[in-house]
Amino acid sequence: MSIVALDYKSMSNAALFALAQQRLGKRNDWQISIELHRRGGREIFQQSALWCRSPVRLERELGAHILGQLGWRKDHFRQQSIKLLIHMLDDSEPRVIASAAYALGHRSASEAVNKLVSLAGHRHAEVRQGVVSGLSGQTSDAAIYALIQLSQDRAKEVRNWATFGLGDLIDTDNEKIRAALVQRLTDPYLDVRFEALNGLANRKHPQALAWTLDALRHEKQLCAGHLDAAETLADARLLPDLLRIKAECLKDQTDPNGYFMHCLERAISACSDKNPS
């Protein structure tokens, strides 16, 4: 039996609300959320606010998710949403707290930094990861210090996203940030290692070239993130290794037209005809 895809854009707000509640916790409820994000508007804000106050955990999560991106770039009902989301950080359910923290990150809510920082040591990893999202892009000393601490978290995805937040999402450059990124170069998790390398390349760390060369030559699972660092550095001394990697990919028919090769070509182009710095 074939399943007919629903046309969410043609549905009324009320029909979307009913469908969202019917599909709570299912994967395709996010498609409904996306349509509600797109529309924005007072009716959707009011319904989301009601969900945020619901006794049902999944409804509170849904309400937070919608408020985080209501109206998308138009940032509808910003202050009202942020106030409500900050209040939700005191929820008894870790998943609700995490949802509110993610939503505050989408809103780039500097008003929430102090409260989010206070949750950086929460015993649930999903909350700590939400805190990382909420703090990423914030440049206050408190936010950066918390991200540095979270980049050392016992949960690998918390470390991963905190390292990304420090390395790529802010331009702030100081010794504490550099030291935190250097520490993550030897992380057991591959994604953390290349996020740290990218952050150091972005900051033109004097040893970034040597670390990138070492990764290109010795990393057991080379990935596009390492090539991004090479592109950022744009140093001709990286070119021989990049060309070697390309030849190996073509010989083994590894990802000949995929994303890795696309990043490799960009890195080669950036490093070509450049004088060593």
Q: 202-242: per-residue pLDDT in tens?
A: 999 999 999 999 999 999 899 999 999 999 999 999 999 99
Distances 272 to 120, 166, 169, 210, 265 between C-alpha atoms, Å: 43, 29, 27, 18, 10
Bin 255: left if φ > 0, else alpha if -120 < ψ < 50, else beta.
Answer: left
- From residue 135, alpha-carbon distances to 65, 128, 156, 164 in Å are 17, 10, 17, 12
Question: What's the CA gap between 129 and 99, in Å, rounded?
Answer: 10
Burial per residue of 150-177, b for 16 or more beta-carbon CB atoms within 10 angstroms, e otherwise: bbebebebbbbbbbbbbbebbeeeeeeb
pLDDT of 1: 37
Sequence-distant contacts of 35-43: CB under 8 A, at least 24 apart: 35/8, 35/9, 35/11, 36/66, 36/70, 37/66, 37/69, 37/70, 37/71, 37/72, 38/72, 39/13, 40/70, 40/71, 40/72, 40/74, 40/76, 40/77, 41/13, 41/71, 41/76, 42/77, 43/13
pLDDT of residue 72: 85
CB count within 10 Å of CB 277 equals 10
**Considering the domain 36-112 in this protein, what is its CATH number?**
1.25.10
The confidence score (pLDDT) of residue 277 equals 52
Residues (pLDDT < 70) of the chain are 1-5, 27-29, 256, 274-277
Q: Residue 144's closest CA among 115, 121, 119, 167? A: 167
Task: Kindly report whether the global pTM for this prediction surpasses the value 0.75.
Answer: yes
- DSSP annotation string for 29-46: HHHHHHHHHHH--HHHHH
CATH 1.25.10 in the chain is located at 36-112
Please classify residue 145 by burial: count the beta carbons closer than 10 Å to its beta carbon, then call 0-12 exposed, 13-18 middle and 19+ buried.
middle
What's residue 177's pLDDT? 98
